[in-house]
Amino acid sequence: MARDTQQDLKLLRQTIREFVEREVAPVARMYDEQEAVPYPVLRKAAELGLFGIPFPEQYGGSDMGITGYCVLLEEINRHDASLGTIIGASVQLAGMTIYLAGSEEQKQRYLVPLAEGRLIGAWCLTEPNAGSDAAHITTQARQEGDTWVLNGSKMWITNGSFADILVVFATVDPALGARGITAFIVEKDTPGFKVGKIEEKMGLRASHTASVYFEDCRVPAANLIGRPGEGFRIAMQTLDIGRCALGAASLGSAKQAFELSRRYAVERKQFGRPIADFQAIQFKLADMLVKIHTMEQIVYHCAALVDNGQPATLESSIVKLYCTEAASQVIDEAIQIHGGLGFSRELPLERMYRDARVTRIFEGTNEIQRRVIAGELFKQIGYRLGA
């Protein structure tokens, strides 16, 4: 990371926070209720350069690394997890895959407009019969001269209904398992690509999630990312970074829930005094703050590892597991502190509660994170776990 001083990050946080409070917070509830993608907000975010934060300047970014990107998601998710999810799928999943493994031509053609917010990306890995078992996807890719032909379907694809480009994982041979998985860039207007159902979800309702289909979808060989068979490794490398950022998103939601609760504890009176005077409320807030401090430390420790080019598979899984579960606990306690008001739609807590639930599912379920952590901790002493 070229500009990694604390002053740079402080200024970045201030800029994003002002943008979020001015442009995001006032409309987040409306877009959630309408289940509408906040296109005007996305355009303003692009104008501010928010899509390019982790990428080098030569690719249209601001070269603030994953640490800067974590600051972005933390601040956005204080007020709107749907917006954070849209940006995350485009920047962290689609954009980062191309940055990590794409050719220079692919970076100039696709990463630059993604980083500038002129294109929106999607990332297509999950299938109806391959979620946690990502090594056994069945979407097939066969080569015909200078073209690859894709056939299959993907589901739960964030931005899938409106993305300009999609990073798609397919297998050249299902019998090869992970060694057959290959990554491609597919433009939305490619013949044979079709958008299916947009899901009706409990949370993240302003972030559209869709099924997508590939029927003899012909992709130029120039759109192959890396080499055939490298797709699974590329996907896992991308997810390692994404899980760190998801922890930052959870941190932002938890911080906002805590701040709302602390203020309310002073304002709300029962039995003739503020509820902040009661030990039950004090202990709840103390436990919430302990979780938030822990989240903050492990998120930015993991981000520093990534920015310094160090392995972070173990750390990113710890971050994803702990932060997503801790955030849900903090938001739940915030609702309890607010009582009936917390359960109403008058406050954003009920939306935050709904939005937080999926974080324990996507980008690798928390059950899978426990499996990854176990594998890494035994690897440290030279033992490889069985199936």
Q: State the catalytic residue, choosing from 23, 75, 315, 363.
A: 363
H helix intervals, 144-208: none
Placement of tokens 């502190």 in the chain: 337
Whole-number Å distance between alpha carbons of 343 and 341: 5
Q: Considering only CA atoms, which of 85, 114, 120 is closest in space to residue 98?
A: 114
Q: Considering only CA atoms, which of 67, 65, 49 is closest in space to residue 114?
A: 49
Whole-number Å distance between alpha carbons of 264 and 70: 28
Is 363 tagged catalytic? yes
CA distances from 131 to 138, 346, 361 (A): 11, 36, 10
CA distances from 303 to 49, 249, 276 (A): 20, 13, 35
Tell me the sheet residues that pair with 181. 171
Contacting residues for 191 by C-beta, under 8 A, at least 6 apart = 217, 218
Placement of tokens 């079709």 in the chain: 194
Token pair in block for residue 380: 């440290």
Q: Kindly list the catalytic residues.
A: 363
